[in-house]
Chain A
């Protein structure tokens, strides 16, 4: 861990309650079931539900890259949302470093996510009006990191992803691959323990996608990484592959 990483982690942690005892397994889903309610509304007498996950149990250790594969609607994104605490499953537990996210409030889950999880989206989701550096520094704004430290951290991360000469560029002035590299730098801004990537190469050509994956796996070493994708090349970086179908795990460790 670099000195800067440690400094950021210290700043982020100082704004939090004491972190729980670090468990050997970073992410643990146990018997997770999730149903999306379509909401009956006052016109409909019956509330229809769709089961997105059914009794799913997964563990991801530090330094492990886990690939999630399966057709659309198989539950890949739902697992990622559950791991990040963006949704609370209908049943089961989701543990991050031994802390069960399902027992926490929305605000507490947001705090945990901010400190321990980095997210890489398919469509980058950078703010178009902000420079690459400002986009990378955004998560640190919420963490209360001072401006000079934010800039220093963001610049260092952009240099790590090979964009040291693009720090003041707007997203519109960057290629798709470069934008995704900015997004990876942003995901690493708070030095998270877990990185989730949902179709990280979905918007990129094959060569650019490979470069981005190399970067993600290189910078993400020592962290738990979950990558959801349809693409075999993307999934080939995984140490372990979990196959999903209709919300259930059909194979783990392939």
Chain B
């Protein structure tokens, strides 16, 4: 058989497949949508994954710290009640002394009660930091007015600065503006007796924690949490010197402080994702089910088409058409549907992503949560081709089984 004949036959098979699809537009549309949804679910989840990782990296980058030192659990929401690093100021000062380190600062996270009245308190996460900076992108007001060296500040039992930056949503709920006073404490009793002045509003830490958060000076958070004595922190963040290699510094610090986890900012994002296996597994399961659903629906539909036409297929086999040509006509329909659905899913990805991003920004305050680099579209297209091929093989195989003498009846 010559190449021209083979090409002519393949062309004819696709022509027959398209003719059959044209005669059943409803069925073709339904299956295209099923495959498109499967591909869309994959591209959207991939976009979300890329967005979450980027967001985490951006969050860590905006903190502009090269190395993060923590002690399990890293999960900031779980460690809210317990800051596992003890003697944070001492360790920070030790690390700060190194030649290859420019600065080392502790960060604490605690759940606190905040209210505009002593008897009207709400629970929120509070982040304790040494200082605020321009990356906070203040909606109103400004950061803390601290100008002394944090390493020389002695631990205190009472808040010394007593200033707080609120997430704008907390400020709205409490109907508070910068310059006004709020009550803050780790229990309802202590909160009623501790006043902080609101100096500004910012979403800076809320995006990292995933809920509206307040920001207070590190020492003040220790004071209201009662951890000044043990000097506890959730993280120690380290900024390496300009000429230092942060991987090497991280390795050095890991050797020096074996009780703690020392990670570069990239590794930190990875560690945070690894601590959410349930979320990752749920996402993978949903995508798996969507893909499986799309494939099964399409294969089933075309297997039914083949079954409905079993007598005709058997007759065509009898008049001399090969099993491959017959399987090809049905399989090519599956391939065409798979590719069309895949392209539709990929084409719909930027539109749906934009919609979901708008929703995410509006509801939970995350900007550009889903991101679609070229790789996401490539994944979608590869999946479309794979789905098309699987559908083609499965339906073609079913067709081949029907094209036999047993199904020839009259």
Residues 91-133 of B contacting A (Cβ, < 8 Å): none
Describe B's contact surface by its main secondary structure: helix
With known contacts A119-B319, A123-B410, A130–B405 Cβ distance under 8 A: no
Quote the shortest CB–CB distance from B85 to chain A (angstroms).
70
Which chain B residue shows the least CB distance to A113? B320
CA distance A128 to B316 in the complex (A): 13
A38 within 8 A of B: no
- Which residues of A are found within 8 Å of B13, using beta-carbon distances? 141
The answer to whether A147 and B24 touch across the interface, beta carbons within 8 angstroms, is: no
- Which residues of A are found within 8 Å of B53, using beta-carbon distances? none
With known contacts A134-B16, A134-B19, A141–B325 Cβ distance under 8 A: yes
The answer to whether A139 and B319 touch across the interface, beta carbons within 8 angstroms, is: yes
The answer to whether B410 and A199 touch across the interface, beta carbons within 8 angstroms, is: yes
A5 within 8 A of B: no
Which of B2, B5, B15 has the largest count of A CB atoms less than 10 A from its CB?
B5
A89 within 8 A of B: no
- Which residues of B are found within 8 Å of A125, using beta-carbon distances? 311-312, 315-316
Which of A21-29, A43-51, A52-60, A79-87 lies at the binding interface? A79-87
- Which residues of A are found within 8 Å of B405, using beta-carbon distances? 81, 86-87
A193 within 8 A of B: no
Quote the shortest CB–CB distance from B138 to chain A (angstroms).
66
With known contacts A134-B16, A141-B9, A144-B9, A126–B321 Cβ distance under 8 A: no
- Which residues of A are found within 8 Å of B20, using beta-carbon distances? 127, 129-130
CA distance A187 to B405 in the complex (A): 18
Quote the shortest CB–CB distance from A151 to chain B (angstroms).
11
Residues 229-253 of A contacting B (Cβ, < 8 Å): none
Partner of A144, one of B1, B16, B22, B316: B1
The answer to whether B318 and A119 touch across the interface, beta carbons within 8 angstroms, is: yes
Which chain A residue shows the least CB distance to B315? A125
The answer to whether B319 and A202 touch across the interface, beta carbons within 8 angstroms, is: no
Which chain B residue shows the least CB distance to A144? B5
Which chain A residue shows the least CB distance to B11? A147
Which chain B residue shows the least CB distance to A124? B315
- Which residues of A are found within 8 Å of B187, using beta-carbon distances? none
CA distance A110 to B318 in the complex (A): 8
The answer to whether B23 and A190 touch across the interface, beta carbons within 8 angstroms, is: no
CA distance A146 to B11 in the complex (A): 10
CA distance A111 to B317 in the complex (A): 11
Which chain A residue shows the least CB distance to B329? A127
With known contacts A81-B405, A127-B309, A202-B410, A147–B319 Cβ distance under 8 A: no
User: 1/0 contact trace for A97-118 toward B, CB 8 Å?
Assistant: 0000000000000110111011
14 more A-B residue pairs beyond the given contacts A138-B319, A141-B321, with a C-beta to C-beta distance below 8 A: A15-B5, A86-B408, A111-B320, A114-B320, A121-B408, A127-B20, A141-B13, A141-B16, A142-B9, A143-B320, A144-B2, A144-B8, A144-B9, A199-B410
Contact sample, A vs B, 5 pairs, CB 8 Å cutoff: A15-B5, A125-B312, A130-B20, A144-B1, A144-B5
